[in-house]
Amino acid sequence: QVQLVESGGGVVQPGKSLRLSCAASGFRFSAYAMHWVRQAPGKGLEWVAAISDDGDYKYYGDSVKGRLTISRDNAKNTLYLQMNSLRAEDTAVYYCTRDPGGYPLAYFVYWGQGTLVTVPS
């Protein structure tokens, strides 16, 4: 069965960096686009970034452009989110999600359990 397991969250000071990882299993990782979606505590959902199956195409939400970078290693079946210049408003649970296709169609068929990133204000 499809499994997405995020890791790398924690408490990080404003302005610092953090890298999230998502280990995928149960499907052919290299055939699907992947996304990060976040949810601030007690709030709604926000799409963060997307990457195509081969990693050639990347897309970002306006609030994270230039600070967060999505990448993938298809040999390791792993998705990443490099987070730089972190702000208090980046505090959220970050979910790794799988797209239905190889190019980002951008609805989210499978979700990981999420990893919490906390940036104190």
Partner 1 sequence: EIVLTQSPGTLSLSPGERATLSCRASQSVSRNYLAWYQQKPGQAPRLLIFGASSRATGIPDRFSGWGSETDFTLTISRLEPEDFAVYFCQQYGRSPFTFGPGTKVDIK
CA diameter of the chain: 40
Of 112, 115, 117, 119, the one binding partner 1 by CB under 8 A: 112
The answer to whether residue 95 forms part of the interface with partner 1 (CB under 8 A) is yes
Rounded-to-integer distance, Cα 62 and Cα 73, Å: 24
Of 8, 55, 61, 101, the one binding partner 1 by CB under 8 A: 61
Closest approach of partner 1 to the CB of residue 4, in Å: 9
The answer to whether residue 27 forms part of the interface with partner 1 (CB under 8 A) is no
Which amino acid is present at 119? V
Cα–Cα distances (Å) from 81 to 1, 6, 42, 86, 98, in that order, read 24, 10, 22, 12, 14
Tell me the backbone φ, ψ of residue 29, rounded to 5 degrees: -55, -40
User: Tokens in use for 1?
Assistant: 């069965």
DSSP letter assigned to residue 29: G
Of 77, 106, 116, 118, the one binding partner 1 by CB under 8 A: 106
With contacts defined by CB under 8 A, name the span among 12-20, 24-32, 71-79, 105-113 that binds partner 1.
105-113
The answer to whether residue 12 forms part of the interface with partner 1 (CB under 8 A) is no
The answer to whether residue 44 forms part of the interface with partner 1 (CB under 8 A) is yes
Return residues touching partner 1 (CB under 8 A). Answer: 44-47, 50, 59, 61-62, 95, 100, 105-109, 111-114
